[in-house]
Structure 1
Amino acid sequence: MRPRGLRVRLVLAFVLVTVIGAVAAAWASYGSARGSMVDEAQQRATDEIRRRVAAVTADLTYPPDQGALDRLRAAVGAPALVTYGSLSSAEGTGLGLLTGELRAEVRDREALVFQRVTSDEGPRLLVGTPVMRTSVDGARAPSGIEVYAVRDLTPTQQRIDASAEAAVRTSALALPLAIVLALFAAGGVLRPVRELGGTARRLADGDLDARLRVRGSDELAELSATFNHMAAELQDSVDELRRMEADSRRFVADVSHELRTPLTTLTAVAEVLEGEAQRMTPDARESTLLAVEETRKLTRLVEDLIEVSRFDSGTASLRREQVWVRRAVEDCLRARGLLDQVELDAPDDVTAVLDRRRLDVLVANLVGNAFTHGRPPVLVRLRADDEQVEVTVVDHGPGLPEGGRHRVFERFYKADAARTRSEGSGLGLALALENARLHGGDVVAGDEPGAGARFVATLRRFPREDT
């Protein structure tokens, strides 16, 4: 599993690099010290053997006898072996480590030869050297005497082991130091990143004035400057969009209010014409009734737009009163001639403190949507508990369009893009949702198993004490 946090990765990388560097340095130092100690021990042993051999060979007579070999062996020090032809003098343990290959190399090279070996007793240094004779003319030649010595390298190995332990301790001590340094370094590197994240969250929460402080001239400073430029551009764009939205809402509100007065006059005229329609010719009557219907639709649209503008401007408010909810729903349906066309499943004893007019608008829009976009029978079901009132409207139409579960509450949303004109204003469900939220509730759309679309409106039954 790879670490995912940036801090963790930075700390691990810093610790890894530091520890690897410390280990490499410690073991390089150990390797150098080890080689130096071994070379020093070898050099000291071979120099001592040369010196002792040279001190005795000046007094030797040739050919040497057994006594001469014994004196030379004693001068070299045990464990040692001195040979001359068939004569030999040996003393000490470990002489069995002297191999035939070592002896052959001494004879062939006619020079001092050494070899390091490991035995059961520990590391040993094997040294072999021929004794050279110097003639009257100064020429040197092998005398036939060979000297072999075994020297114990255990003290040197102990010093090497102590050096290795020191290297291990140095590497181990580097780990906590590396962690501390890594935390400080990661903190310094991640501080601008944390500030960037905090400022981005402030922007996301709506604080468009949030900016970063630009420090220095490195890559992080360049990133901060770029972020500030982006935030400034975003603020300008949002301000422009807000201005345009405010202008649009003001335009809709102004136009709606300006249309209200002439539409009131047109509605009055339309009602007069509707009363005289039966005395008109068929063509005139059809045109008159069409004009009356369209005038009423336009009036409803203007009223809906005025209501929307109240919600947008934040001036919409509740006029709460004690309401018998079933009776209010029946009055809503009766006023629109739908009481006999809707199946009402509601208890008689449910009361709530609500805005009766807004409850009427909510139920009318949900039921009207069920008849417009669904098919009868339409069911209105009322349920309540101690906290809220739930109004459910179910139709038996095709159900919600694919992907339209949330979009149906958008203003002027049409499930069928080819349908350019509908019976309603396209604002009914949006207004139903706004009225439910004004009551501290919500409207949720879905499909009813075995039926069509289902809309569930929840309203807070009683106002909170602080409202």
Structure 2
Amino acid sequence: MKPLAGRLSSAVRATGRLVRRLVVFARRRAVACNELWRHSLQFRVTISTLALSFAVVFVLGMVLQNQITERLLDTKRKAAIEQTQSLADTAARELVGVGGESPDALHTRLENALKKLSSVGSSPSGAGAGTFEPVLASVEPGQPNADPIHVGPFSSVPVQLREFVENNAFSRLEHTVVGEDGSRTTYLIVGTPLNTVATPMQLYLLFPLTGEQNTVSTVQNTLLVGGLVLLLLLAGITNLVVRQVVRPVRQAAAAAEQFAGGDLDQRLAVVGEDDVAKLSVSYNRMAASIQHQIRQLEEFGGLQRRFTSDVSHELRTPLTTVRMAADVLHASREQFPAGLARSTELLVDELDRFEALLGDLLEISRLDAGVEELAAEYIDVRPIATRAVEQVRVLAAGTGSEVRLVLPDEDAAAEVDARRVERILRNLLANAVDHSEGKPVVLTVAADETAVAVTVRDYGVGLRMGESDLVFNRFWRADPSRNRRTGGTGLGLAISQEDARLHGGLLDAWGETGHGACFRLVLPRQQGMPLDDGPLALPPADAVSEITLSPSSVLELQPEPEVILPEPEQANPGNADREGVGR
């Protein structure tokens, strides 16, 4: 018993594994067909045509089969009725004078008549409806339950047909008879009363429909094979026709992709004068027009870059002269009246800003021209961040903002251009100090296996919705009416974003009105390495409570104002040297 139970359990497990494999295979095939249906016009048109053709062929086959079957049966019924009527007359002649005999004598007369009917039916002149089996019976209309006297397969005649014939009605019926060996044979049974005989007699002829069934089966097989062949031919023809239409479309799509990839000379071949040829001509005209406009824009951009570069270079010489004169005046400002001395200081400040603007214009023109090269080396980013903080510390002290530096304990080395990364951080810090309104500015450095990230967080005016995508535009300002403290050129963030792209990195921004802003720089540790979001998230972690909590909750959770926002006069100047060291 135990071995049998083990075998059954193993069979069940094997069957379960087989079913799971079949389900997985079916799902994969379904997914593949779904993808092919979504992406292939040729496949969709072919399958749709095949489905509609199958429906048409199926309906047509059913109609033809029914028509052929009805015609065969009608022909068989007419021939059987005619032959039954003819043999009824023959049987009446053979049974003339029957009446009053004993059952044995009557049975003998019926056997003789049956032999006569069989011989007449087997002759060439009596084979109109094919072979048949005759049955003769003598049943009184008022004695349906009595044992009738009969010759032939009387049990094959159904009871309902007997009742009609015994009541002097000419009837026919298709009936299936099950033989002793279990075989099933369908007969067309025609019954007629023999009214010319004194004793009530009934004649039944059983015409087998085997030939007609074979004919219908042959017709069905022919229609099935013909339908399948027709469907395959239609599928092949549809596939060829659709390929002739889809192939030019695919060629146009490939040409469009190459054109979008920068191959502006890509064109379609024009063959013939049909609709596809007109499409090719229209596409070629459109491509030529776009190519002409792109060339014009490239020429205009080149002229603009040359103009910016030439103007910047040409302004260098007079600017140098003015700078020399301004420096002389600035050195002697103590000898001037107070108003004139202040004008000299303003002149020097504006010259500094003008020089910075010229430098930024030259830098942005080189970046636009694509002539800048990345002098990358594998160095630690932490010293770069420290130098950038030290460079803006004087600027931050003038605005009352505290610059905090948060550095990781582990190494944060990456393959970067130190000069460009330092410029990016300096621009971000200067921008944060300019908008911090005296509140702290925090620079955080972090690293993981693939990237090094730096965030600059301030708690000033912040950014309105949608402005985080505009801050990197050239000469864009969040609030033109706000007084500027640092006097930036308006190109610093644009140059920083181009420097980040030159590294294969990412520079993005986040901000909320009244909650400050945060700029994030993500650089790959090695050039060409895929870049993800980096180790520092944006929005920053401290922005969650500011956005999700109610104002009262924010006030309750914040530390004392003098702890995080010290007044400039309360800050200890001696701590300035320790601000660059963070945890």
**TM interval, short-chain normalised:** 0.7 to 0.9
Corresponding position: 1:455 with 2:545: no
How far the C-alpha of 1:437 sits from its partner, in A, is: 3.6
Corresponding position: 1:254 with 2:310: yes
Number of the residue aligned with 2:174:
116
Number of the residue aligned with 2:190:
127
RMSD, matched Cα: 4.4
Larger displacement relative to structure 2 (48-57 or 238-247): 48-57
How far the C-alpha of 1:428 sits from its partner, in A, is: 0.3
1:389-411 CA distance string (max 9 Å, x none): 65443322244442333432222
Corresponding position: 1:407 with 2:470: yes
Cα distance, 1:385–1:124 mapped onto 2, change above 3 Å:
closer
Q: Which amino acid counterpart does residue 402 of structure 1 have in structure 2?
A: M
Looking at structure 2, the residues matched to 310 and 176 of structure 1 have their Cα atoms a distance apart, in angstroms, of 64
Conserved 8 A contact 1:76-1:149? no
Larger displacement relative to structure 2 (60-69 or 150-159): 60-69
SS in 2 for 1:80: strand
How far the C-alpha of 1:308 sits from its partner, in A, is: 0.7
Looking at structure 2, the residues matched to 70 and 354 of structure 1 have their Cα atoms a distance apart, in angstroms, of 118
Corresponding position: 1:52 with 2:87: yes
Cα distance, 1:243–1:70 mapped onto 2, change above 3 Å:
same
Number of the residue aligned with 1:379:
442
Q: Which amino acid counterpart does residue 435 of structure 2 have in structure 1?
A: H
Number of the residue aligned with 1:91:
151
Q: 2:490 aligns with which of 411, 417, 426?
A: 426
Looking at structure 1, the residues matched to 112 and 380 of structure 2 have their Cα atoms a distance apart, in angstroms, of 132
1:413-442 CA distance string (max 9 Å, x none): 333466698831111011122233444544
Looking at structure 2, the residues matched to 313 and 332 of structure 1 have their Cα atoms a distance apart, in angstroms, of 27
How far the C-alpha of 1:300 sits from its partner, in A, is: 1.6
Q: 1:367 aligns with which of 429, 435, 439?
A: 429
How far the C-alpha of 1:104 sits from its partner, in A, is: 5.7
Looking at structure 1, the residues matched to 192 and 376 of structure 2 have their Cα atoms a distance apart, in angstroms, of 119
How far the C-alpha of 1:359 sits from its partner, in A, is: 4.2
Corresponding position: 1:36 with 2:74: no
Looking at structure 2, the residues matched to 339 and 325 of structure 1 have their Cα atoms a distance apart, in angstroms, of 22
Number of the residue aligned with 1:8:
43
Looking at structure 1, the residues matched to 270 and 162 of structure 2 have their Cα atoms a distance apart, in angstroms, of 77
Number of the residue aligned with 1:79:
134
Corresponding position: 1:343 with 2:379: no
How far the C-alpha of 1:217 sits from its partner, in A, is: 4.4
Looking at structure 1, the residues matched to 253 and 268 of structure 2 have their Cα atoms a distance apart, in angstroms, of 10
Conserved 8 A contact 2:134-2:203? no
Conserved 8 A contact 2:177-2:185? yes
Q: Which amino acid counterpart does residue 495 of structure 2 have in structure 1?
A: L
Larger displacement relative to structure 2 (281-290 or 380-389): 380-389
Looking at structure 2, the residues matched to 264 and 20 of structure 1 have their Cα atoms a distance apart, in angstroms, of 89
Conserved 8 A contact 1:115-1:127? yes
SS in 2 for 1:79: strand
Looking at structure 2, the residues matched to 307 and 10 of structure 1 have their Cα atoms a distance apart, in angstroms, of 56
1:367-386 CA distance string (max 9 Å, x none): 11111233442233445679
Number of the residue aligned with 2:255:
199
Identity of aligned residues (%): 31
Q: Which amino acid counterpart does residue 428 of structure 1 have in structure 2?
A: G
Q: 2:284 aligns with which of 215, 224, 228?
A: 228
How far the C-alpha of 1:28 sits from its partner, in A, is: 3.5
Corresponding position: 1:435 with 2:481: no
How far the C-alpha of 1:165 sits from its partner, in A, is: 4.3
Matches within 5 A, 1:151-230: 151-172=207-228, 179-230=235-286
Cα distance, 1:192–1:277 mapped onto 2, change above 3 Å:
same
Cα distance, 1:171–1:367 mapped onto 2, change above 3 Å:
same
1:306-325 CA distance string (max 9 Å, x none): 11111112222355689786
| Structure 2: unaligned runs, 5 residues or longer | 1-29, 119-132, 143-147, 179-183, 529-583
Conserved 8 A contact 2:423-2:496? yes
Looking at structure 2, the residues matched to 113 and 381 of structure 1 have their Cα atoms a distance apart, in angstroms, of 105
Cα distance, 1:38–1:420 mapped onto 2, change above 3 Å:
farther
1:133-165 CA distance string (max 9 Å, x none): 9xxxxxxxxxx9874433333443344344434
Q: Which amino acid counterpart does residue 24 of structure 1 have in structure 2?
A: V
Q: Which amino acid counterpart does residue 95 of structure 1 have in structure 2?
A: V
Q: Which amino acid counterpart does residue 368 of structure 1 have in structure 2?
A: A
1:282-329 CA distance string (max 9 Å, x none): 544444444443333222212111111111122223556897866655
Cα distance, 1:176–1:319 mapped onto 2, change above 3 Å:
closer
Give the TM-score normalised by structure 2. Answer: 0.63
SS in 2 for 1:305: helix
Looking at structure 2, the residues matched to 169 and 280 of structure 1 have their Cα atoms a distance apart, in angstroms, of 113
Q: Which amino acid counterpart does residue 116 of structure 1 have in structure 2?
A: E
Cα distance, 1:119–1:374 mapped onto 2, change above 3 Å:
farther
Looking at structure 2, the residues matched to 353 and 241 of structure 1 have their Cα atoms a distance apart, in angstroms, of 35
SS in 1 for 2:258: helix
Q: Which amino acid counterpart does residue 79 of structure 1 have in structure 2?
A: P
Looking at structure 1, the residues matched to 88 and 527 of structure 2 have their Cα atoms a distance apart, in angstroms, of 115
How far the C-alpha of 1:183 sits from its partner, in A, is: 4.2
Give the TM-score normalised by structure 1. Answer: 0.76
Looking at structure 2, the residues matched to 325 and 25 of structure 1 have their Cα atoms a distance apart, in angstroms, of 80
Q: Which amino acid counterpart does residue 14 of structure 1 have in structure 2?
A: T
SS in 1 for 2:468: coil
Conserved 8 A contact 2:364-2:495? yes
Conserved 8 A contact 1:325-1:350? yes
1:204-260 CA distance string (max 9 Å, x none): 212222222234444444433333333233223322322322222222222222222
Looking at structure 2, the residues matched to 172 and 307 of structure 1 have their Cα atoms a distance apart, in angstroms, of 73
Q: Which amino acid counterpart does residue 23 of structure 1 have in structure 2?
A: F
Looking at structure 1, the residues matched to 258 and 478 of structure 2 have their Cα atoms a distance apart, in angstroms, of 37
SS in 2 for 1:4: helix
Conserved 8 A contact 1:19-1:178? no
Cα distance, 1:10–1:350 mapped onto 2, change above 3 Å:
closer
Conserved 8 A contact 2:388-2:425? yes
Cα distance, 1:327–1:90 mapped onto 2, change above 3 Å:
closer
Number of the residue aligned with 1:109:
none
How far the C-alpha of 1:73 sits from its partner, in A, is: 4.9
Number of the residue aligned with 2:20:
none
Looking at structure 2, the residues matched to 463 and 83 of structure 1 have their Cα atoms a distance apart, in angstroms, of 110
SS in 2 for 1:415: coil
1:11-38 CA distance string (max 9 Å, x none): 2112213323433343334323322332
